[in-house]
Structure 1
């Protein structure tokens, strides 16, 4: 199946899934005939598809990073690429949360609401900073792979790649084997993508059947403001950054990442989308493996622009609804915490809620108020993920071009988008 046809079919599957899900929600998910779809067919098909992709994440990240790191030849370049990548990810996160706060203060989505936040809402505690730092470094790489701990896998793969680069002829033999295995894994990714439209249909239908339009309408102003800020960040922030730093066509870029965005929207998981993101960056956007193998796995782990936007809008929304003035100092604290915690809480389950709970505690808002907005968070999470993977691609192209690891012909080609 050609890439253009696959993109079209994913979009069709997403639209049909959303339409069917809304209809089921309006009629009633428990209605005989629909219950077996919502509780049986959709979850089974969707989960099998997502688990099939998650199966490839660990070997893909491990092999790609080893190949990319070992092919650099100059180990000092790895440090330079790493610094650039982290700097861009932190900068875009700071811009994202700042934009969210400014627009939320101007539009005031929480005015006129009377919120009931007395219900308890449990959020997993954030681990201490010392534990976070120690947990970045693996004690058993096989355990890290079994648990899917992405930061530990990244650290091990980089160290292994550096050792491969420095090992001379034995290292070259290992590199050739790693390249062959990486090619096989990428081929498997493309085989699985042929069933993507069916998986996307099931995932989206299940989500909209469970959430429906009433959940959106109840918090309409908040919901559409978050979506609006996410789109502003995608097209304005990322667009300007991409154009200024690379001089390349933003329209071409957006066309080539469209399939990744649709897939990220349907799965709401950067990790599940990672195989497709990496394949798109290296084969369609022109980023060479030496850079893409590092920037994409790291971005899937620490790039939290979408979550930062959620924190900014949610903080202002709840503060306005409760008639609490957290002041300029409070907003600056939100910006700082969202930016720095994007790395500090990476890899922690429920990271979005953990980060939002930390922000609420810091500015004096009740953590239980998170329960008010949680009902629509699944739908917003889908949009956030699409924006996050777009940011991963933007930063990858920028870093690759600055390092001379960019293929202009691949980017300019029209046959792969």
Structure 2
């Protein structure tokens, strides 16, 4: 047993060996760090096929964009194989195969169209209703709503003014439109005259922004009207007391959570949907 009064002097050979081991460990750590940054799959190493497939699967599980990108490339190649460019399958059979392959894409688009209106409706109401008082809402939500309505009105007025000035479609014959549409289209004479008064613009503008039937606007997917309805309902919720507004806020929170679950399902279907739609 060494005395505490004497300083311990390490063996120079052991001390040199310890320094070499620590330097080796440090060098290996730096190498592994650089490798993980620049080579996420590390193809330079002699890994087994199982380890390589596990790394690729982990990368795909975390990178949805990579799945979609690979699906796009596979969809293009498979579409070229089925199409006239490949010439391996007759056109009738290729069309049938393309329709069935695109079925996940139709489901994906249907889910998004189904969920977008309730998701936007619930999110906007909850965002407006999150204000604790009407004074806070006046500073943020009300100014945003007024800005949104004013810019929309300006854009609508510019569109109407340009239509009155340019007369779009005036120099297109009815026969050309009818042949392009592939069906019978009733077209008036090309000498169109707009004798609508400028005084009718405010009433038509308000009628397009505030629907007489909110449920009809939601069913028809009129997003501008849905947004305005949601803002109005959110402001009304802020003006209510907490006991009256809490049940509806809880319902909208549940509706938003359900919508996000459906969005998550649709996103998991996105790579297959992209493959099918590009193939078609």
Which of the five TM-score ranges fits, normalised by the shorter chain?
0.5 to 0.7
Match of 2:22?
A: none
Asked if structure 1 preserves the Cα contact closer than 8 Å seen for 2:145 and 2:231, the reply is no
TM superposition score normalised by structure 2: 0.53
- 1:186 offset after TM fit, Å? 0.8
Given the alignment of the two structures, is residue 36 of structure 1 paired with residue 96 of structure 2, yes or no?
yes
CA distance 1:201–1:174, shift in 2 (3 Å): same
TM superposition score normalised by structure 1: 0.37
Given the alignment of the two structures, is residue 65 of structure 1 paired with residue 138 of structure 2, yes or no?
no
CA RMSD of aligned residues (A): 3.4
Given the alignment of the two structures, is residue 10 of structure 1 paired with residue 83 of structure 2, yes or no?
no
- 1:199 offset after TM fit, Å? 0.8
Asked if structure 1 preserves the Cα contact closer than 8 Å seen for 2:118 and 2:255, the reply is no
| Bigger Cα Rg | 2
- 1:173 offset after TM fit, Å? 3.4
Match of 1:81?
A: 144
CA distance 1:8–1:85, shift in 2 (3 Å): farther
Counterpart-to-counterpart distance in 1, 2:106 and 2:70:
19
CA distance 1:15–1:89, shift in 2 (3 Å): farther
Deviations 1:185-212 (A, max 9, x none): 2122112211111111111222xxxxxx
Secondary structure class of the residue paired with 2:91: coil
CA distance 1:21–1:172, shift in 2 (3 Å): same
Given the alignment of the two structures, is residue 51 of structure 1 paired with residue 113 of structure 2, yes or no?
no
CA distance 1:141–1:22, shift in 2 (3 Å): same
2:255 to 181, 185, 188: 181
Determine which structure has the larger helix proportion and give its number: 1
Counterpart-to-counterpart distance in 2, 1:59 and 1:135:
20
Asked if structure 1 preserves the Cα contact closer than 8 Å seen for 2:211 and 2:225, the reply is yes
Query: Structure 1 unaligned runs (5+)?
Result: 91-117, 207-417
Deviations 1:78-132 (A, max 9, x none): 1333466689999xxxxxxxxxxxxxxxxxxxxxxxxxxx95445999xx95545
Counterpart-to-counterpart distance in 2, 1:10 and 1:82:
36
Q: Select the structure with the greater relative contact order (CA < 8 A; seq sep ≥ 6).
A: 2
Secondary structure class of the residue paired with 1:34: helix
Query: Structure 2 unaligned runs (5+)?
Result: 1-57, 154-174, 188-199
Deviations 1:356-387 (A, max 9, x none): xxxxxxxxxxxxxxxxxxxxxxxxxxxxxxxx
- 1:8 offset after TM fit, Å? 1.2
Asked if structure 2 preserves the Cα contact closer than 8 Å seen for 1:165 and 1:172, the reply is no
Matched length: 177
